[in-house]
Copies of this chain bind each other. A is one copy, B any other.
Amino acid sequence: MSEGDNPPLAAATLARVRESFARQTMMATFAARIVDIGPGFCRLAAPIVPGARQQQGFGHAALTFGLGDSAAGYAALTLMDEGIEVLTVEMKVNLLAPAAGARLVAEGRVVRAGRRLTVVTAEVRADGRAVALLQGTMIAVPAAG
């Protein structure tokens, strides 16, 4: 994991994000990993795995959506306090082009962070080409346990 151009996260925040991400078996099924993260920002990358295709062999909308949604959610989580989890309230995706190629990269960004609700966007690219744009709302909830 590299923090790229973004200011670094506090170590505790980074640990919380990593731990939450590791619990998402969906991300493991998608072979996704966090490749960059900073305050209000998260970038995921994943191969287009054989088990996540649509009928024409391109990446399924569930894959594109899932990566964008998770990138946006973890972007939101970076701005939240300890003991808080983030859940998706709603999310809209516009699919710009087929998810063709070998590798997807999803970049999530916080547009407006509120106390409870955070507005986020995400862009998903396939081999560098934009394939999806997402816009939605995340909610902060107390972490269980």
Measured CB to CB, the residues of A under 8 A from B are 20-21, 23-26, 28-30, 50-57, 60-63, 65-67, 69-70, 85, 87-98, 111-112, 116-117, 119, 121, 130, 133, 135-137, 139, 144
Contacts and interface: CB of A to CB of B under 8 A. Distances in A.
Contacts of A65: 61-62, 65-66, 69, 91
A100 B69 CA distance: 19
Nearest to A143: B56
Contact of A90 (B52, B69, B92): B92
Contact of A62 (B50, B63, B92, B137): B63
A96 B63 CA distance: 21
A136 to B, nearest CB: 8
Contacts of A96: 111-112, 119
A119 B96 CA distance: 8
